[in-house]
Amino acid sequence: MRIGGTDTAAEDDRWIPVVNPATGEQVDRVPEGSADDMDQAVHAAEDAFSGWKKKTLRERGVILFHAAGRVREQHKELARLLTTEQGKPLRESLDEVRGYANILEFYAGISAAQQGEMIRLGMIGDALVTREPLGVCGAIIPWNMPVLIMGWKVGPALLAGNSLVLKPASTTPLTTIRLAQILEESGLPPGVLNVVTGPGETVGEAMVRHPLVKKLSFTGNCATGQRIRELAAGSLKELTLELGGSDPMIVLSDADIDKAVDGAIRGRFYNAGQTCTAVKRLFVHESIAVEFSRRLQQKAESLKLGNGLDAGTDMGPLNSAIQRERIEKLVDRALDTAQGTVLTGGTRPEGAEYSRGFFYQPTVVSDVEKTSSLLTEEVFGPVLPVVPMPDLDTAITEANRTSYGLGASIWTSNLHSAKRAFDEIHAGIIWVNRHLTVPPEVPFGGMNESGLGRENGLHALESYSRTKTLLLGW
């Protein structure tokens, strides 16, 4: 496995510090790779591709299965590493590490069931249709869920027989490197999986531009996704882009209110709100909106903010100072123009224990104007805007009033209302009486500005391969 720039970094002193977001302290460093390191990694992947492609699906699946087992054995160490670089509470890191193992096991499990097809063509003959891998694939991973999102890309790409180059986010490279090592320790041949650390603008763009890279899977910011699309436009590279969202959650008056309050709290404050499918806009029927907001406020105030490594922490810091500044600006702008009422939060927490990390309080804002930037922009942090709605029609119209289309949820006991939300809201996944959950079996991806293509499930496996037909004229 290549870890970008290791040799040159020592000479040139080019390193990226990895900082614990709860303390602001440097915990490690990784080489600041270059475009040349990316080129070498892509060539290493190209060299390894033909051998990996020749292995049977079952052989590849067994390696994924062994890797999942090792991840399960080491889940506590991996979760600590993830919390240290990302900031989330340890129990969320444990969930994420187990989620990664689930993904590898899912793809290992379906490996034996993958078959080709035979098409009988009468007088013409018979056609045999198989699937073959694409070649070298590239994956760019964000910092919000680096372990899970690595699994979404590595599982189907490797099972399908591709070799891969990964570019982790510069704030969260450590777990990616460790998980890649575990795959090699589990039998993945050298060169099949490569990790290059370094800035997106240099090593990321070098990957996107590289002529040997046949497919790119990117998760992150819309503007970065758009840039990647432009850079790849001159080539015939396949693209999967998962670009975030502004998920609506609609709560009707016939919902189980306790369950819906818990769902909104988890949906918004899990991972300090830094989740692409977080609840970013909450529409509550006006008959229950005041009571609902009161309960949200109470629950948000009871969340224990702290270092993710400490027992009892419910919400950690934001991943970086830049992310916190983005949230502060958005909230301040909305409040300066009187677009809502802050019920709780809206500022950094006070206290010595918070002074060096990138903490921001769980925030609930009620009576939010429809035009507020809290609704029109993706708020990637712990801020929950609550908007009262007179009826389902209005809620659906407002839910669709965004350029995003990743996920949406409706909370109701009425099947007809749920079906209407499913039919009429523009989003890749609609939950009923749930939010956030994305199991490996289920295709995941957005509509509109939320992206292109699907991750997870059989759909992702297909996207990492193409059909090849043998026509036998008898």
Residue closer to ligand NDP (CB basis): 25 or 201: 201
Contact 151, 217 (CB under 8 A): no
Residue closer to ligand NDP (CB basis): 28 or 126: 28
- Binds ligand NDP by CB under 6 A, chosen from 283, 380, 411, 431: 380
DSSP class of residue 346?
-
Q: Binding string to ligand NDP for residues 311 to 340, with x set by CB under 6 A, is what?
A: ---------------x--------------
Residue 105 in the binding site for ligand NDP (CB under 6 A)? no
- Nearest one of 287, 290, 378, 384 to 342, comparing CA atoms: 384
- Nearest one of 58, 156, 56, 55 to 104, comparing CA atoms: 156
Q: Which one is catalytic: 32, 105, 276, 449?
A: 276
Please list, in sequence order, all residues whose beta carbon lies within 8 angstroms of the beta carbon of residue 325, skipping any fewer than 6 positions away. Answer: none
Residue 146 in the binding site for ligand NDP (CB under 6 A)? no
Handedness of CA 182, 183, 188, 194 (dihedral sign): negative
Residue 123 identity: M
| Cα(220)–Cα(8) distance, integer angstroms | 28
Site residues (CB under 6 A) for ligand NDP, limited to 31-70: none
Residue 201 in the binding site for ligand NDP (CB under 6 A)? yes
- As beta bridge partners, residue 139 has 166, 217
Residue closer to ligand NDP (CB basis): 142 or 357: 142
Residue closer to ligand NDP (CB basis): 224 or 417: 224
* Residue 143 Cα distances to 150, 271, 275, 374, angstroms: 10, 11, 10, 22
Contact 452, 240 (CB under 8 A): yes
Total chain residues near ligand NDP (CB under 6 A): 27
Residue closer to ligand NDP (CB basis): 69 or 199: 199
Residue 85 in the binding site for ligand NDP (CB under 6 A)? no
Tokens for 287, please give them. Answer: 């008959």
Residue 196 in the binding site for ligand NDP (CB under 6 A)? no
Q: Which stretch binds ligand NDP (CB under 6 A): 26-34, 135-143, 296-304, 352-360?
A: 135-143
The least distance separating ligand NDP from the CB of residue 142, rounded to whole angstroms, comes to: 3
Q: Which stretch binds ligand NDP (CB under 6 A): 25-33, 194-202, 368-376, 463-471?
A: 194-202
Residue closer to ligand NDP (CB basis): 326 or 420: 326
Q: Which stretch binds ligand NDP (CB under 6 A): 72-80, 131-139, 141-149, 334-342?
A: 141-149
- Nearest one of 203, 232, 217, 265 to 5, comparing CA atoms: 203
Please list, in sequence order, all residues whose beta carbon lies within 8 angstroms of the beta carbon of residue 231, skipping any fewer than 6 positions away. Answer: 205, 208, 209
- Nearest one of 306, 463, 327 to 385, comparing CA atoms: 327
Residue 140 in the binding site for ligand NDP (CB under 6 A)? yes
Beta strands in 87-207 (DSSP E): 117-120, 126-133, 136-140, 163-167, 193-195
Q: Is 286 a catalytic residue?
A: no
Tokens for 157, please give them. Answer: 């790409």
Please list, in sequence order, all residues whose beta carbon lies within 8 angstroms of the beta carbon of residue 253, skipping any fewer than 6 positions away. Answer: 285, 287, 288
- Binds ligand NDP by CB under 6 A, chosen from 85, 105, 242, 247: 242
Site residues (CB under 6 A) for ligand NDP, limited to 258-277: 276
Q: Binding string to ligand NDP for residues 387 to 406, with x set by CB under 6 A, is what?
A: --------------------
Site residues (CB under 6 A) for ligand NDP, limited to 408-437: none
| Cα(38)–Cα(307) distance, integer angstroms | 35
Residue closer to ligand NDP (CB basis): 172 or 307: 172
Residue 238 in the binding site for ligand NDP (CB under 6 A)? no
Q: Which one is catalytic: 96, 205, 238, 242?
A: 242
- Nearest one of 330, 329, 332, 247 to 281, comparing CA atoms: 247
Q: Is 242 a catalytic residue?
A: yes
| Cα(385)–Cα(279) distance, integer angstroms | 9
| Cα(474)–Cα(9) distance, integer angstroms | 60
Residue 142 in the binding site for ligand NDP (CB under 6 A)? yes
Q: Which stretch binds ligand NDP (CB under 6 A): 39-47, 199-207, 248-256, 363-371?
A: 199-207
Residue closer to ligand NDP (CB basis): 31 or 204: 204
- Binds ligand NDP by CB under 6 A, chosen from 170, 297, 363, 402: 170
| Cα(326)–Cα(53) distance, integer angstroms | 44
The rounded Cα 37 to chain-centroid distance in angstroms is 25
- Binds ligand NDP by CB under 6 A, chosen from 8, 130, 181, 221: 221
Which parts of this chain interact with ligand NDP (CB under 6 A)?
140-144, 167, 169-170, 199-201, 204-205, 208, 219-221, 224, 227-228, 242-244, 276, 326, 378, 380
Query: Could you give the residue numbers annotated as active site?
Result: 242, 276
